[in-house]
Amino acid sequence: MEFLQALFEHEFLQRALAGGLLASIGCGVVGSYVVVQRISLLAGAIAHAVLGGMGIAWYFGANPLAGALVAAVIAALIIGWVKLRFAEREDTAISAIWALGMAIGILFISQTPGYSVDLMGYLFGNLLMMSSSDLQLILALDVVILAFTVLFFRQFLAVCFDPEFARVRGLKVERYYLLLLVLVALTVVMLIQVVGLILVIALMTLPAAIAGRFTHSLAAMMGFAVLLGMAFTTGGLAISYAPDLPSGPVIIMLAGIGYLLAALVRRGAR
């Protein structure tokens, strides 16, 4: 109740709520691709490597999110290239990019005068700090993600479902695979503002993984994952508000509990 009342009074809470809801859209759509393709480790590597871009941007006084966007896309393309060309060393290469990105980020941040608490916000997220320009960025990323998903829905489906068959049909599988990874990168940047880069991977995969247990088509999975994401972010925000807890971890706790419950329900139904 306290949360509802505060929601009417405080604009920052309204922005936080809107940010969570909007980010859930791209998150549910791209998260479903990540889950059906089983590339959550890859998504995690992109998320962590992003710190490199943020640190560099920070050091040079640019917007850390712009740095995150550039770093995420570069990391996605490098990882995708490694995966497509050197599949046998994929595991090591992904871990290396994961760690290198973070190392670069920490080095640059350590050399930046006026080491700021905002760093915690990027690591663990802080919905309450959402500015209207952050909101606009999330909205823009949603539009890009949805546009590509609608346009290339059948191509992405074919690449995820059976890439070999897609290749026989003449599809440029590598091109669509890299495009999908770029969408993952955009989603990472969007979710960093909600739960921070360390927890991104959970928010991206848990709602989609739950949705996948109850749906029989990719589109339905995406729709359900979006709704679940909205429920988790809104619920996390509401629960964390009164006791002044960090919202990101509470959101992830909710998603984790939801995942466990779904696993139990599904097992009971069988």
Partner 1 sequence: MTPSLAFQGVSFGYGDGPDVVENVDLEIGPHELIGLIGPNGGGKSTLLKLAAGLLKPRQGTVQVFGRAPQEARDKIGYVPQFALFPRDFPITVAQAVLLGRLGGGLGLRWSARDRDAADRAINETELAPLADRPLSALSGGELQRVLIARALAAEPRLLLLDEPTSNLDQRAEEDIFALLAKLTDRMAVVLVSHDVGFVTGYVERVACISRTLICHGTSAVTGEVINELYGHPVRAVHHAHHHHPAPQGDT
> What tokens appear for 95 in the block?
């871990």
Least separation in angstroms between residue 154's CB and partner 1 is 6
> What tokens appear for 115 in the block?
């080491």
CB-wise, 3 or 152, nearer to partner 1? 152
Q: Does 167 help bind partner 1 (rule: CB under 8 A)?
A: yes
Residue choice 86, 153, 172, 242 for contact with partner 1 (CB under 8 A): 153
Question: Footprint of partner 1 on residues 221-250 (CB under 8 A)?
Answer: 221
Q: Does 215 help bind partner 1 (rule: CB under 8 A)?
A: yes
Residue choice 12, 60, 86, 161 for contact with partner 1 (CB under 8 A): 161
Least separation in angstroms between residue 46's CB and partner 1 is 23
CB-wise, 77 or 171, nearer to partner 1? 171
Total residues contacting partner 1 by CB under 8 A comes to 28
> What tokens appear for 203 in the block?
């928010």
Q: Does 30 help bind partner 1 (rule: CB under 8 A)?
A: no
Residue type at position 153: F
Closest by alpha carbon to 208, among 223, 191, 190?
Answer: 223
Q: Which stretch binds partner 1 (CB under 8 A): 10-18, 52-60, 128-136, 215-223?
A: 215-223
The three-class DSSP label of residue 131 is coil
Least separation in angstroms between residue 176's CB and partner 1 is 11
Q: Does 87 help bind partner 1 (rule: CB under 8 A)?
A: no
Helix-helix angle 173-195:200-214, to 10 degrees: 110
> What tokens appear for 211 in the block?
């949705």
Cβ-based neighbours of 232, under 8 Å, separated by 6 or more: 24, 203, 206, 207, 251, 254, 255, 258
Q: Is 215 exposed, middle or buried (0-12, 13-18, 19+ CB in 10 A)?
A: middle
Q: Which residues bind partner 1 (CB under 8 A)?
A: 36, 150-155, 157-158, 160-162, 164-171, 212, 215-221
